[in-house]
């Protein structure tokens, strides 16, 4: 008599609550029904439909951790983690919600003046305004001290000249949170963050959409600023020279969001590969019955579980206020590296089909390569960790 399989207990993250589980289910259904059917078209167009942001706002997916007094739901990073994770599991790659909700909104919440919060957060929460963070320049990526875009104070306004590159949401952005030099002080002390509303902004120009290897539908653009003039009160927080400190304060959270995204992709890669090998026949038997297949997936499952446990530790640490820069660097580099390795292994198990873009695993492979680069390259992450060890 064939024995029934013993069910494997479902792992539940220690920070997950019944409320968050309900959110997870509704978010998953939303992405599957409303966004996933359009992914192929968005990827070909190089951008998402503008009204998709309004739909996401109506669903409560934007700036979920924003305080209630600004129109938010008063959630925590855990709410953002659920939303970002489910987007990744749904294979919705065109929606740039992490820069919008996880970065720009967090800059405003953490450092913005009361006037700036009231002016911008409600519109970002509804999707009326799309937010974008503008840091990278042609000669300044991970090394943000090298930025050259200048904002010169003239009476009660700033005149801005320069350019930015690799800007996610760059085409749709209504609000830019941008790193600029506001003084000739060497290094990081002369950097400030400034807010720009792009609508009818004289001297502001969007360049071409960049043709990327992956994340094809996430609009990524070059931005140019020629004698752009904005009011003095647009300096984030109202004080010059705080930009580098503000960036360094937010990067650990940003890197945690990246880890959330890529750990979810690890789980998804295993899920779709198990389904594939269970239905693929090789030499008269299921591919899943071959020892190599089983051992490779066992290795992937182990590393994915370790990534989940480490990620949960990071989220709990963040929620209780003990998360630190070094641990964020560890999470970012290790999880993105393992995501790349797991997806590569899963693609190999698909054989020739894994190289065909009709199969989700091929697109996932294109996408996960970015993880080792953005948010600070993994080489920089290791340097941050090393500094904490030898300082």
Integer Cα distance of 194 and 149 in angstroms: 11
Place of tokens 């209504």: 174
Token pair in block for residue 81:
């983690």
3-state class percentages of the chain: helix first, strand second, coil last, to nearest 5:
55, 15, 30
Integer Cα distance of 173 and 197 in angstroms: 9
Token pair in block for residue 246:
């503000």
Strand 175-181 and strand 131-134: pairing? parallel
Distances, alpha carbon 285 to alpha carbons 280, 281, 361, 378, in Å: 8, 5, 22, 41
The enclosing H or E element of 168 equals strand 157-168
Quick check: is 39 catalytic? no
First-residue to last-residue Cα distance in the chain: 64
Q: Which of 254, 271, 303, 379 is catalytic?
A: 254
- Map residue 382 onto helix, strand or coil: helix
Q: Could you tell me where the beta strands, DSSP code E, fall in 169-289?
A: 175-181, 191-197, 204-209, 220-231, 281-282, 285-286
Integer Cα distance of 140 and 176 in angstroms: 18
Residue 66 has phi, psi (to 5 degrees) of: -75, 145
Question: What residues are annotated to the active site?
Answer: 254
């Amino acid at each position: 008599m064939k024995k029934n399989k013993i069910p494997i207990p479902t792992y539940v993250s220690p920070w997950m609550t019944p409320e968050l589980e309900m959110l997870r289910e509704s978010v998953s259904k939303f992405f599957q029904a409303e966004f996933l059917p359009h992914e192929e078209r968005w990827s070909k167009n190089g951008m998402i439909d503008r009204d998709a942001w309004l739909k996401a706002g109506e669903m409560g997916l934007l700036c979920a951790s924003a305080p209630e007094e600004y129109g938010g739901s008063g959630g925590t990073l855990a709410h953002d983690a659920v939303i970002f994770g489910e987007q990744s599991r749904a294979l919705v790659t065109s929606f740039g919600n992490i820069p919008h909700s996880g970065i720009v909104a967090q800059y405003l919440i953490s450092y913005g003046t009361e006037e700036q919060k009231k002016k911008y957060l409600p519109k970002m929460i509804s999707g009326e305004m799309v937010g974008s963070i503008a840091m990278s320049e042609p000669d300044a990526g991970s090394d943000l001290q090298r930025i050259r875009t200048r904002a010169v104070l003239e009476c009660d306004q700033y005149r801005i000249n320069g350019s930015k590159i690799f800007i996610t949401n760059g085409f749709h952005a209504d609000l830019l949170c941008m790193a600029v030099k506001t003084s000739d002080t060497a290094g990081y002390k002369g950097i400030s963050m400034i807010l720009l509303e792009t609508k009818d902004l004289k001297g502001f120009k969007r360049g071409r959409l960049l043709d990327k290897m992956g994340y094809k539908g996430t609009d990524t653009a070059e931005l140019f600023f020629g004698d752009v003039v904005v009011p003095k009160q647009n300096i984030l927080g109202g004080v010059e020279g705080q930009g580098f400190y503000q960036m360094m304060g937010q990067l650990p959270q940003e890197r945690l969001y990246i880890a959330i995204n890529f750990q979810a992709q690890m789980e998804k890669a295993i899920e779709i590969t198990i389904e594939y090998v269970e239905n693929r026949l090789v030499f008269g038997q299921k591919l899943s019955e071959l020892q190599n297949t089983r051992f490779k997936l066992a290795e992937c499952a182990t590393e994915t579980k370790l990534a989940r446990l480490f990620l949960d530790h990071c989220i709990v640490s963040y929620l209780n206020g003990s998360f630190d820069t070094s641990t964020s660097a560890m999470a970012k580099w290790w999880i993105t590296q393992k995501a790349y390795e797991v997806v590569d292994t899963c693609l190999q198990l698909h054989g020739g089909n894994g190289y065909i873009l009709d199969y989700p695993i091929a697109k996932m492979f294109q996408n996960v390569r970015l993880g080792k680069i953005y948010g600070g390259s993994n080489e920089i992450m290791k340097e941050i960790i090393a500094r904490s060890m030898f300082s």
